[in-house]
Amino acid sequence: MNLIFRATAVGLALATSGFIYAKASVPLPVVQQASGIPTLAPVLKKITPAVVGISIKGRAPDGNTQQRKSRDAKPAAVDQQTRAAGSGVVIDARQGLVITNNHVIDRAEEITVQLADGRELAAKLVGGDPDTDIAVIKVPAENLTAIPIGNSDQIEVGDFVLAIGNPFLIGQTVTSGIVSGLNRTNVGIEQYENFIQTDAAIYPGNSGGALVNLRGDLIGINTAFVGATNANPGMAFAIPINMARVVTDRIVETGDVRRGKLGITFEDPTPALVREFKFAAAPTTPIIVKVDPGSPADLAGVKAGDVVTDRAGTPVRDTSQLRSRLGLFWVGDTAELTVVRNGRAAVIRATITDPSRAKATK
């Protein structure tokens, strides 16, 4: 039975629960030679100061929350306070902004950031988004190092990557591997998913840490692992940095994330839907099966039976991918969809608003 774990260490008990050993079966290319020995040390020396440890003090989860998250992390002791540990990445040294996973700082009353040089800084929550599991915290901007931001849209399966974090509360740790898969949307961890899959080992406490390429560019935020055993570290997942930046920019700008509803229900093609909407040939992309009356989609002219092929010029693969992309629209944004109706393509634009003030333009 495969288990899904958020890579957050809860309490000091995890540090004594045993380690999961990863097999370094993937040879890394030579990045730089020091004294004739291949090494990644020069790259890591530049970027590891930007990866921090995070500890919190906060309220213990209630029974319902604990049951819901039982697949995500080992339960904390049931008391008035709980301590948890995770990781974070400095993305703006001048403002002291650190990105992490929302579940790392969930219910936090006190947040402390541990820098690689040993300093501990009190942090304040800027905002978080549980649906994508992204949060931003802020520390005093004193002699901080920010990590270079990469472009996760340019990575490919087979690219070498490094995962950096603070597993098991033992200190900063680096693991290596490759990109094993892209656009993982059916893991079942977040409301909106588009994960990078990697075989670089991610352990409890790595949540919110950095996934970087061999140039040291941040390409993902480490989030969870699946199916780990004592003999196999399982599969690890990271949120692509391009997706994380959309959420981060919104949090920094407004302090919260407000999503509106486009007002459509869509499904992947099935024989029953093909018959219901009388398609001459079975579509390969999501079919809109319902449009809410008075919604932005309705006012924009979207109809049940429309087949969504593109979102803002980017091809749509399936319902999971479309749902994740629509999840990055905020109130006031304009959603642009290309749909096929009666064999003809049309571009429809709808302005995302609060339900009571829905507007749309074609």
pLDDT tens digit string along 160-195?
A: 999 999 887 788 999 999 999 888 877 777 778 889
Find out whether 310 and 338 touch, Cβ atoms under 8 Å.
Answer: yes
Residue 198 above 50 pLDDT?
A: yes
CA distance 89 to 201: 18
Q: Which of 52-61, 279-288, 310-319 has the lowest mean pLDDT?
A: 52-61
Q: Can you give the pLDDT at residue 204?
A: 85
Write down the pTM of the prediction. 0.76
Does residue 228 surpass a pLDDT of 80? no
Residue of 55, 72, 87, 103 marked active site: 103
Q: What pLDDT band is residue 244 in, cutting at 50, 70 and 90? A: very high
The question of whether 17 is a catalytic residue gets the answer: no
pLDDT attached to residue 225: 84
With 60 as the cut, is the pLDDT of residue 72 above it? no
What band does 242 get if pLDDT is binned at 50, 70 and 90? very high
8 pLDDT exceeds 60?
Answer: no
pLDDT digits (tens, 9 = 90+) for 111-141: 999 999 999 999 999 999 999 999 999 999 8
Quote the pLDDT of residue 65.
45
**Integer Cα distance of 139 and 50 in angstroms:** 13
Question: Which residue is catalytic, options 72, 133, 199, 306?
Answer: 133
Backbone dihedral region for residue 361 (phi beyond 0: left; psi -120 to 50: alpha; all else: beta): beta
* Mean pLDDT, all residues of the chain: 81
Judged against a pLDDT cut of 70, whether residue 69 lies above it is answered with no
pLDDT of residue 134: 95
- Token digits for 89? 């990445």
Across residues 277-283, what is the average pLDDT? 90
Which entry of 207, 295, 320, 324 is annotated as an active-site residue?
Answer: 207
Q: Which residue has the higher pLDDT, 259 or 48?
A: 48
Is residue 103 part of the annotated active site? The answer reads: yes
pLDDT for 290 beyond 50: yes
Banded pLDDT at 76 (limits 50, 70, 90): very low
3-state SS assignment for residue 170: coil
Q: What are the structure tokens assigned to 186, written together?
A: 């059916």
Secondary structure of 23-64 in HEC code, one letter for each residue? CCCCCCCCCEEECCEEECHHHHHHHHHHEEEEEEEECCCCHH
For residues 325 and 317, the answer to whether their CB atoms sit within 8 Å is no
Give the pLDDT score at 211.
97
Helix ranges (DSSP H) in the chain:
41-47, 63-68, 102-105, 241-254, 271-276, 296-300, 319-326
